[in-house]
Amino acid sequence: MPKPQFNCCDQTTDYDDSICCAKCNKRYHSKCLQLQVDLNTNIDVDWICPSCLPRISRGNNEDIPVRNKNTSTGSERNISKRSNKRVAVSSPERTTQQNDIREIVSDIVKAEIKDMLTQINLTIKTTINTELKTLREEILDMKDSIKFINSQYEDFLKEHNANKAEFKDIKERNNKLESNIDKLTARLKDVEQRSRSNNLELQCVPESKTENIVKIVEQLGKVIGVEIKRDNIFNATRVAKINRHSTRPRSIIVQFNSPLTRDSVLAAVIKYNKSNSNNKLNTSHLGIGTNGDKKPIYVMEHLSPENKALHAATRLKAKNMGELFDDRYNVYRRDRETSKLRTKNDGGGVLIAVKKTINSSRVRCWESDCEDLWVVVNLSHMNSIRRIAFCGVYLPPPVNRRLLERFLGNCNRVFEQHDKFKCIIGDFNLSSIAWNVSLDASPLVCNNSATAQILLDFVLQNGLTQCNSVLNNRRKILDLVLADLPECSVSYCYNTISNVEQLHPPLEINIPNMKRDILTTKTTYDRYNFYRADYDSINQYISGIDWKELLKLDDVDEMVRLFYEVLRTAISNHVPLKKTKSNRYPSWINRDIRRRIKEKHKLLKRFKKYNNAMDEVELRLLSDRCHKITHDAYAKYNSELEKQILRNPKAFWTFLNSKRANSNAYPATMNNGIKSSTSGDEICNMFLNHFNFASVHSSASDNFDSTNFLRNISYLGESDNFTRIIVNQNNILEQLKNLNISKGAGPDNIPPVFLQKTAKYLALPLHLIYNASLVSGTFPAIWKQARVVPVFKGGDEKDIRNYRPISILSIFAKVFESLVCPLVRLHFNRYISEHQHGFWPGRSTTTNLVTFTSSLCEAIDSQKQVDVIYTDFKKAFDSVPHRILVKKLSCYGFSGPLLQWLSSYLHNRSFYVVMNGFSSLSSKITSGIPQGSHLGPVLFNLFINDIVLCFKHSTPYLYADDLKFVRVICSLRDSVLLQDDIDRVSNWCESNGMQLNLDKCLHIKFTRKRDNISTQYTLNGEKLREVESVKDLGVILDRKLTYLDHLNIVINKASNMILNSN
């Protein structure tokens, strides 16, 4: 028979293993139902299957037996069993009662919760109302307080500002007071130390009741080899101990009569101790030792308590920490043991100390195997940082070529990384070099030492300057300061706290601000562009003027005024205007490069604003492109410049001068010794007043004797009257055509290019004006005005007294003078002295020097002594009295309208000063020769011509106002005769209204003899300064006439100029 189907699984089994539901009669496996009760023992129980069992809540089913997990029997068929981990469900009747109870409980809980929520809401509402009421009251109180504070705010603010200003004022005054106290304290300490400048302190000298301190000092002098007389000792005594508990004897203070005596004794003691290192100065040397004891005696400067404490502290630190400065400094040192140099003495090295307020760092990779120390110092100035590389070096003697080349080779490698702002300071021990800093050209004068020449070549190749001029006791300079820092100066340092070494005097190096503040220029202004003028229209307009009718006047000034009116009209109608701007780019930067540079700047701004990576890449590519095309343009420009150096030397010198940083610029602040100014117009007026003071208001013209003058020059020949000059129109046309169009315009702002382009049509009106001026004896007033440009001479560039005026005249006036000048020179040619070599055809500085040096060589070859007196006139061209000059012109034959014309040419002149686009007021000139003119040098030669009559016993040599006169000295009588000529020159100056600059008047002896005749000369009661060399018309002459000084200086100047252009 088929096996029955089961509703719990797909398996078949016997009926003994199954159970039937009492409701649905479906059968289930006992194992699937997991029954654990023996069914045979509970057959009467009606079992209901899970599908027929209703969903009831679980109740108490503890009475249901638990089925065994492991065993089951067939008797458990009709019995429901529970698992020990599962709870059987309750019967349906009991479940119904529990649901009713749950509903009742739920209703009760809901009612309680509702009452509770109502109570909570009421409580919250009450609390909030109470708090809000309190808050409202507080807000009202706060409003009242704010109203009160607002009403008092202005008063509080005023009081606060007043207190703030008072506090600031008190703070400033306190800072100023502290600064003044610090300065006064420093000055007091300095004064205290200076008061001891003559004193020496002797320590550890045993005391005795019968001692004679003066004899002890005299004995000390005998030991060290210095003669100390009683007259040299002003005072000698013992002083109280600083520490009364010290067992040392009291110190002896010796006050000498001068610091020189003190220094010589101190230097001798140091030298003695160095040479006798095993037997240094002790009590036995002074004869005061007992039982053969040799107690050391210390001789030192008499320091103030402040400096003594500092010195003691630094000595203690030197022993403990290897430092010689206090905590205010960063100390960099390199001991000798770290280098490969070996000397006889122990110790030694180089040290550089920098204040901690200054950013500094040591660069060890720059140091060589020599004894050198490199420190880079960053100095801030005008929102920029200047990195200066300082090198301290010591080269032990004797300095050989190999040692010097090692050190200088390392310096060249350093300079490749740090090319600007270098300063090498140290003891080079090269006494074979004579560093001459008294001459303007170059400080280098060297003998034939090959080692010294290596150093000089290094200095020149790197554009350095030797700034130290302080000589030691042997008249040598061993400590050098080689720097490329502008205006670096070195002087003797008097405020020292250590012993002074005579071979190495203490130096004070002053490095001023390296950034030069330049006076700004009026960069934009309108002016006419004469190179783009319509000259065809201008010539047509000028040719249409009836000049003979227009200029048919008697007044020359009115003729010139009408002439300028026509020119102004033509210029305003046919010459375009242009805005002139200062070009910040060099001449080799073309338009394409400028466009690229502007694009780079725009891209840089965009990159800084948005920080885009693509912009950065594009910026880098564009920067490389700009650098390449700029480099190529510069190389091409230099190549063209080299090709044109013979045809166009002006372009070469313009380029060379441009490489000198702001060489022609004016400082932003200038002074006249009384006040300073930063305003361009005010500086121009200061220059105006200074140049105007050069005009001499002399009364010498009233004492000038024309009769005596005529008698003195009568040997020159009888004078012919020269009364009239007439100029030719063709000559005017030729002068106009030959004008140099590269020159600038005069005060009337009409340049030479305009005159050259219109020469054919301007010759007629100028012919009429020039001849009318000569006939009437009147020089046009408008052409007497000069535009003056200050040019720096030397010294302090901020002092206007170190500038000389350069006058710029109207081109029409200069053309006029160029026509008159040859005729005046032709008349004066018969009177000009043969000793005058200046501004005369066929004569020059060369003829002056050749004739002078020829006579010197002849005398020197004959073993003779030649004394030469060099004079210098104070502002010679500006000091010529007009009245005396006119009287001399009359004596030389000038008369009639020509003399009146020359007098009118000299009198009532005026000038104004211009610089960087600024201008001054106008001022009258009361004396002097017009500078920048053609007639000026001729008239000055005419004025000074008769000075040659003063030389009865010597031979004069003149180049304009440069005068020297010579006499061979064979005995003292020759010097007396030369002095007589000096006195005559002084008398001539007094009668002619001229002054000599006594500081620049010199005396030099030219000879190669060993035994010279001692001579001295005086001028106006003052002794003339005797020199070993002199600069004569640009050539430096030494007393033996070797020209070595001149050759070295020329070579050095040329080298510096070329190196500075790189």
* pLDDT tens by residue, 659-698: 554 456 788 888 888 888 888 888 999 998 888 755 554 5
Q: What percent of the chain has pLDDT over 90?
A: 23
Q: Which pLDDT score is estimated for 785?
A: 92
Confidence bin at 97 (pLDDT 50/70/90)? low
Mean pLDDT of the region 427-447: 61
Q: Same domain, yes or no, for 291 and 399?
A: no
Whole-number average pLDDT of the chain: 80
Confidence bin at 75 (pLDDT 50/70/90)? very low
CB 48 within 8 A of CB 88: no
Q: Which pLDDT score is estimated for 437?
A: 52
Question: 192, 218, 240: which is the final residue of a domain?
Answer: 192
User: Cα(709)–Cα(942) distance, rounded to whole angstroms?
Assistant: 13
Which CATH number fits the domain that encloses residue 403? 3.60.10.10
Mean pLDDT of the region 981-991: 92
- Number of neighbouring beta carbons within 10 Å of residue 987: 11
Three-class DSSP category at 15: helix
Confidence bin at 86 (pLDDT 50/70/90)? very low
Q: Same domain, yes or no, for 188 and 201?
A: no
Which CATH number fits the domain that encloses residue 276? 3.30.70.1820
Confidence bin at 651 (pLDDT 50/70/90)? confident
What stretch of H or E contains 50?
none
Q: Which pLDDT score is estimated for 59?
A: 47
In a domain, 820, yes or no: no
Mean pLDDT of the region 775-787: 93
Q: Number of helices (H) and strands (E) in the chain: give both, helices first.
A: 25, 36
Beta strands 479-483 and 422-427: pairing type?
antiparallel
Question: 53, 74, 90: which is the final residue of a domain?
Answer: 90
Mean pLDDT of the region 261-268: 86
Mean pLDDT of the region 365-370: 87
Q: Same domain, yes or no, for 873 and 1011?
A: yes
- Total number of domains in the chain: 5
Q: Which pLDDT score is estimated for 152?
A: 77
**Whether the predicted pLDDT of 1001 surpasses 70:** yes
Lowest model confidence (mean pLDDT) among 214-228, 483-497, 1028-1042: 483-497
**Whether the predicted pLDDT of 534 surpasses 50:** yes
**Whether the predicted pLDDT of 27 surpasses 70:** yes
Beta strands 1002-1006 and 1025-1026: pairing type?
parallel
In a domain, 254, yes or no: yes
In a domain, 268, yes or no: yes
141: its two tokens: 């109180």
Name the more confident of 381 and 274.
274
Q: 177-224, pLDDT tens digit by residue?
A: 888 888 888 888 878 888 888 888 888 888 888 888 888 888 888 888
Q: 419-435, pLDDT tens digit by residue?
A: 678 899 988 888 777 77
Q: Same domain, yes or no, for 52 and 125?
A: no
Return the amino acid letter for 305: P
**Whether the predicted pLDDT of 778 surpasses 90:** yes
Q: Which pLDDT score is estimated for 440?
A: 43
User: Cα(92)–Cα(57) distance, rounded to whole angstroms?
Assistant: 9
In a domain, 806, yes or no: no
**Whether the predicted pLDDT of 306 surpasses 80:** no
Confidence bin at 321 (pLDDT 50/70/90)? very low
Alpha helical stretches, state H, 435-534: 450-461
Mean pLDDT of the region 370-392: 79
**Whether the predicted pLDDT of 68 surpasses 80:** no
Mean pLDDT of the region 752-758: 93
Name the more confident of 968 and 647.
968
Q: 604-629, pLDDT tens digit by residue?
A: 888 888 888 888 888 888 888 888 88
Q: Same domain, yes or no, for 265 and 142?
A: no
**Whether the predicted pLDDT of 73 surpasses 70:** no
Q: Which pLDDT score is estimated for 247?
A: 76
In a domain, 539, yes or no: no
**Whether the predicted pLDDT of 515 surpasses 50:** yes
775: its two tokens: 């006939």
Question: 510, 539, 554: which is the final residue of a domain?
Answer: 510
Q: Which residues neighbour 927 within 8 Å (Cβ) at sequence distance 6 or greater?
A: 695, 696, 697, 698, 878, 879, 880, 881, 882, 993
Which CATH number fits the domain that encloses residue 22? 3.30.40
Q: Same domain, yes or no, for 288 and 222?
A: yes
862-900 burial string, b = 16+ CB within 10 Å, else e? Answer: eebbbbbbbbebbbbbbbbbbbbbbbbbbbbbbeebbbb
Name the more confident of 16 and 322.
16
In a domain, 449, yes or no: yes
Q: Is the entire prediction scored with pTM above 0.75?
A: no
In a domain, 970, yes or no: yes
| Strand ranges in 438-554 using DSSP code E only, listed in sequence order | 444-446, 465-466, 479-483, 489-492, 507-510, 525-528
**Whether the predicted pLDDT of 154 surpasses 50:** yes
The closest of 551, 557, 574 to 758, measured between CA atoms, is 574
Q: Same domain, yes or no, for 342 and 290?
A: no
In a domain, 939, yes or no: no
**Whether the predicted pLDDT of 33 surpasses 80:** no
CB 917 within 8 A of CB 525: yes
Q: Which pLDDT score is estimated for 210?
A: 82
**Whether the predicted pLDDT of 814 surpasses 90:** yes
Q: Same domain, yes or no, for 235 and 374?
A: no
Q: Same domain, yes or no, for 957 and 847?
A: yes
Q: Tell me the range of 38-52, 283-297, 545-559, 690-704 where mean pLDDT is highest.
A: 545-559
Q: Which pLDDT score is estimated for 539?
A: 93
The closest of 929, 663, 923, 676 to 801, measured between CA atoms, is 676
Q: Same domain, yes or no, for 327 and 381?
A: yes
User: Cα(1056)–Cα(1046) distance, rounded to whole angstroms?
Assistant: 15
User: Cα(450)–Cα(404) distance, rounded to whole angstroms?
Assistant: 11
**Whether the predicted pLDDT of 2 surpasses 70:** no
Lowest model confidence (mean pLDDT) among 713-717, 735-739, 911-915, 1036-1040: 713-717
**Whether the predicted pLDDT of 803 surpasses 60:** yes
Name the more confident of 182 and 924.
924
Structural domain boundaries enclosing 213:
195-302
**Whether the predicted pLDDT of 507 surpasses 50:** yes
**Whether the predicted pLDDT of 1021 surpasses 60:** yes
Return the amino acid letter for 684: C
Mean pLDDT of the region 956-971: 93
User: Cα(236)–Cα(217) distance, rounded to whole angstroms?
Assistant: 9
Q: Same domain, yes or no, for 414 and 501?
A: yes
Q: Which residues neighbour 823 within 8 Å (Cβ) at sequence distance 6 or greater?
A: 725
Q: Same domain, yes or no, for 429 and 459?
A: yes
Confidence bin at 341 (pLDDT 50/70/90)? low
